[in-house]
């Protein structure tokens, strides 16, 4: 039995510049993001001969079938085809957070599934290869209008400045800073589950189609990723400056597509700001999911109490440093 564990992620700046429609025509895209201590687990084993079906898949649905090409789950189907696996096989997945929450769950699932399948085949491949192949499956094969950042965040783990070059190469710059700075950043981060699940593809499709029109905004957002990186390396790290950039980035991001925000989300954010939040943003493509805020610890309870009547569920994420891993149980 193989079990893989792959982190989800929070992106601080640069989201949208990892879309091919931007980085291929503007030298490069760049994001600053971190993997977090919430995971997707994938279990794989040979399927017993005592069952009638050849393939048993358990995720939010259950599929019992005999042919790979008949699999409804597109990521499972294409990963098995990509690795040319046609065995009797059992695949099960479970996550710490529901899908469509803006934390990169589909890409983490793709990375984790590939990692487990390679281990099932007796192969150990690099993190870079896992990220590249997962992005290829979702973007090129499944034609999803998404960027690459989630695949690399999931595969490598940690706090990173990730650059997407016009020649399709990707460079990862781990942010190696004092533990004290990392602890500060974690202590200032406060997240809320909005209770709104939404498919990211419709939002990203519109955003992708408007990339040329939004080029100046996206270049500004790309520069923000570098500004945040430099702030983290500053010996006098200022969370107020960090939060202000996050706030500016959210104002820019809201302009990229019509459904990135709405009156409900704007209301949540306004309440948070009035009660001490320095900055924040909706995770992922927008439209719902998690509202991630930067605020001084002294203001956290005040913000929680202010958002409680709206039904928002507070949670505390911390940074993951390991990235995807796969273990064989014997």
Query: Which of 239, 257, 283 is closest to 31 using CA atoms?
Result: 283
As a whole number, mean pLDDT of residues 150-162 equals 97
Q: Do residues 149 and 195 both lie within one domain?
A: no
Q: Do residues 102 and 211 both lie within one domain?
A: no
As a whole number, mean pLDDT of residues 5-33 equals 96
pLDDT of residue 287: 84
- Are 231 and 241 in contact by the 8 Å Cβ rule? The answer is yes
Q: Do residues 193 and 218 both lie within one domain?
A: yes
Q: Do residues 297 and 187 both lie within one domain?
A: yes
What percentage of residues in the chain have a pLDDT greater than 90?
Answer: 83
pLDDT of residue 183: 84
Q: Do residues 184 and 40 both lie within one domain?
A: no
Its sign, for the CA torsion 156, 162, 164, 170, is negative
pLDDT of residue 101: 84
- pLDDT score of 202 more than 80: no
Q: Do residues 10 and 147 both lie within one domain?
A: yes
Residue 117 belongs to domain with CATH number: 3.30.230.10
As a whole number, mean pLDDT of residues 176-205 equals 86
Q: Do residues 188 and 160 both lie within one domain?
A: no
Total number of domains constituting the chain? 2
Q: Do residues 215 and 286 both lie within one domain?
A: yes
- pLDDT score of 162 more than 90: yes
- pLDDT score of 330 more than 80: no
For the stretch 129-155, pLDDT in tens is 999 999 999 999 999 999 999 999 999
For 85, the domain range is: 2-176+320-328
| Global pTM value | 0.94
Q: Do residues 272 and 211 both lie within one domain?
A: yes
Q: What is the residue-wise DSSP string for 136-162?
A: IIIIIIS-----SHHHHHHHH-SEEEE
Q: Do residues 30 and 157 both lie within one domain?
A: yes
pLDDT of residue 188: 94
Buried b (16+ CB within 10 A) or exposed e, 65-94: eeebeebebebbbbbbeebeeeeebbbebe
For the stretch 219-234, pLDDT in tens is 999 999 999 999 999 9
pLDDT of residue 167: 96
For residue 211, the tally of other CB atoms under 10 A from its CB is 21
Higher pLDDT, 320 or 38: 38
Burial of 44 (0-12, 13-18, 19+ CB in 10 A): buried
pLDDT of residue 155: 97
Residue 281 belongs to domain with CATH number: 3.30.70.890
* Dist. CA 117–CA 224, nearest whole Å: 37
Indicate the range of 99-103, 184-188, 267-271 predicted with least confidence: 99-103
Q: Do residues 156 and 254 both lie within one domain?
A: no
Across the chain, mean pLDDT equals 94
Q: Do residues 234 and 195 both lie within one domain?
A: yes
């Amino acid at each position: 039995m193989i079990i893989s564990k792959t982190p989800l992620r929070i992106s601080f700046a640069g989201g949208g510049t990892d879309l091919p429609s931007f980085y291929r025509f503007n030298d490069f895209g760049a994001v600053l993001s971190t993997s977090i201590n919430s995971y997707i687990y994938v279990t794989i084993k040979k399927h017993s001969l005592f069952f009638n079906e050849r393939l048993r898949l358990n995720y939010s649905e259950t599929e019992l079938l005999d042919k790979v090409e008949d699999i409804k789950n597109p990521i499972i189907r294409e990963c098995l085809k990509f690795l040319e696996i046609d065995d009797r096989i059992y695949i099960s997945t479970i996550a710490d957070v529901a899908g469509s929450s803006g934390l990169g769950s589909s890409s983490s699932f793709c990375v984790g599934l590939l990692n487990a399948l390679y281990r099932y085949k007796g192969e150990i491949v690099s993190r870079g290869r896992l990220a590249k192949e997962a992005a290829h499956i979702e973007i090129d094969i499944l034609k999803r209008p998404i960027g690459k950042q989630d695949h690399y965040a999931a595969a490598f783990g940690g706090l990173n400045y990730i650059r997407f070059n016009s020649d399709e190469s990707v460079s990862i710059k781990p942010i190696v800073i004092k533990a004290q700075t990392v602890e500060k950043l974690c202590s200032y981060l406060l997240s809320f589950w909005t209770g709104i699940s939404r498919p990211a593809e419709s939002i990203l499709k519109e955003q992708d189609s408007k990339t040329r029109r939004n080029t100046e905004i996206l270049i500004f957002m790309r520069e923000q990723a570098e500004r945040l990186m430099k702030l983290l390396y500053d010996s006098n790290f200022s969370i107020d400056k960090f939060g202000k950039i996050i706030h500016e980035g959210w104002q820019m991001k809201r302009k990229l597509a019509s459904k990135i925000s709405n009156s409900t989300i704007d209301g949540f954010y306004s309440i948070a700001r009035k009660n001490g939040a320095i900055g924040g943003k909706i995770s992922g493509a927008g439209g719902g999911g998690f509202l991630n805020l930067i605020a001084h610890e002294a203001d956290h309870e005040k913000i929680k109490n202010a958002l409680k009547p709206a039904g928002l569920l507070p949670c505390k994420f911390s940074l993951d440093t390991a990235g995807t891993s796969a273990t064989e149980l014997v």
